[in-house]
Amino acid sequence: MSAPGTSLFHRVRKRRGVRQFVKFGIVGASGFVVNLVVFTLLQHVVPNYTAEGPYYAIYSIAFLSGGVSNYFLNRIWTFRSTGHAGKEAVQFLSVSVLALLVGLVVSYFVAPSLGHGHKTWFLATVSGIVVNFFVNKYWTFRSVT
């Protein structure tokens, strides 16, 4: 029998990687909202939105907008990094571009059946979460992992 206060929940909660992943998820959710708001606003202001070209452009702008907000929140709160901000920003945004490319590939394959709307956006955006976390944890913010 385990000692009081050492339940599985308490042991998992004390693990740094688990806490970081939860925080990364919370930050990701806020970036997801930024991404959604920017995407939705751009849908209404970009002429010929339904065309393939404008979709990929506004998807990219919205995705990277969420990425910029995520960088600052992850640096300050999730990983509490004191590393070189410029270097980390370049690395974080490089990972965001990688995740963007994954999202664009997903969009390319699912858009023919789902269209260029929110369903495709959702699947494309979600597709980069795990890659984003692990690459940022072990490359961008590796000095604090």
Q: What is the pLDDT of residues 50-90, one digit of tens each?
A: 667 788 889 889 988 998 899 999 999 999 999 999 999 99
Q: Are the CB atoms for 43 and 37 separated by under 8 Å?
A: no
Which of 98, 20, 107, 93 is closest to 56 using CA atoms?
107
Tokens of 94: 């490089």
Q: What is the pLDDT of residues 101-126, one digit of tens each?
A: 988 899 899 999 998 888 988 888 88
* Local confidence band at 31 (pLDDT 50, 70, 90 cut-offs): very high
